Structure 1
Amino acid sequence: MAKSLLLISRQAPWSGPGAREALDIVLAGGAFDLPIGLLFLDDGVLQLAAGQKARALQQKDLSANLQALPMFGVEELFVCAASAAERGLDASALALDEVQALDAGQIRELIDHYDQVMTL
């Protein structure tokens, strides 16, 4: 049986390649039926902000990748509630409906649940 992987995405969508690389890893894992979860933490929660204007920053829009996650079997999607609140994001108004907001204790439990954890 494949080991489960939790990927923690901590990069803002426009701060460099980290956000895109995290999504690419998760999509690839999902395509191969790897038990995989994705946690948006710190500035990574900004990837979930609705209505981003990536072209204004001459960046590629990540929203299509985010919307594809469930189609690739990636259904374990989490967001740090505190990180979202600190950045003025209401967890109920994020670009993905399927994301579950977690507090610090729940995040510790989540990390313990997975065999491997990777942070980008």
Structure 2
Amino acid sequence: MARSLLIVSRQAPWSGPGAREALDIVLAGGAYDLPVGLLFMDDGVFQLLPQQNASALQQKDLTANLKALSIFGVEDLHVCGQSLKERGMSQDALDADINHLSEKSELSALMDRYDQVITI
């Protein structure tokens, strides 16, 4: 039986390689039929905003990678409601169909469902 994996993406898309690395791990896991989920929290929630201009920072846009998740069988996507609130964002502004976790108990329950959790 395949072990399940939750990736917690905590970095903004423009703050370094962490956001890209998190997506690469999730896509690779999905390609090998590993049960994998992705949780955006802290500055990682900025990855979900539409119409980002990555070229202004001479970086590659992550939007295509996010849209490819379902192609790779990754359907278990979550966002931390507290992180959204702290950054003045609402779920309506996000560019993804994603499960909103508003309580700490929901975050704990999500992490308990997976065999391994990696925070990037």
TM-score (norm 2): 0.96
Match of 1:75 in 2: 75
Q: Structure 2 matches for 1:1-120, cutoff 5 A?
A: 1-97=1-97, 99-103=98-102, 104-120=104-120
Deviation at 1:24, TM superposition (A): 0.3
SS of 1:71's equivalent in the other structure is: coil
Partner deviation per Cα, 1:22-64 (whole Å, 9 max, x = no partner): 0000000000000000000100001001111111111110000
Partner deviation per Cα, 1:84-106 (whole Å, 9 max, x = no partner): 12112211221112x10102210
Q: Distance between the aligned counterparts of 2:88 and 2:60, measured in 1? A: 23
- Kindly report structure 1 stretches of 4+ aligned residues shifted beyond 4 Å: none
Question: Where do 5+ consecutive residues of structure 2 fail to align?
Answer: none
Q: Distance between the aligned counterparts of 1:105 and 1:68, measured in 2? A: 29
Tell me, yes or no, if the aligned pair for 1:49 and 1:89 is still in contact at 8 Å: no
SS of 1:70's equivalent in the other structure is: coil
Q: Distance between the aligned counterparts of 1:67 and 1:86, measured in 2? A: 25
- Aligned CA-pair RMSD: 0.7
Partner deviation per Cα, 1:69-118 (whole Å, 9 max, x = no partner): 01100000000011012112211221112x10102210010001111000
Q: Distance between the aligned counterparts of 1:52 and 1:14, measured in 2? A: 10
Q: Distance between the aligned counterparts of 1:60 and 1:94, measured in 2? A: 19
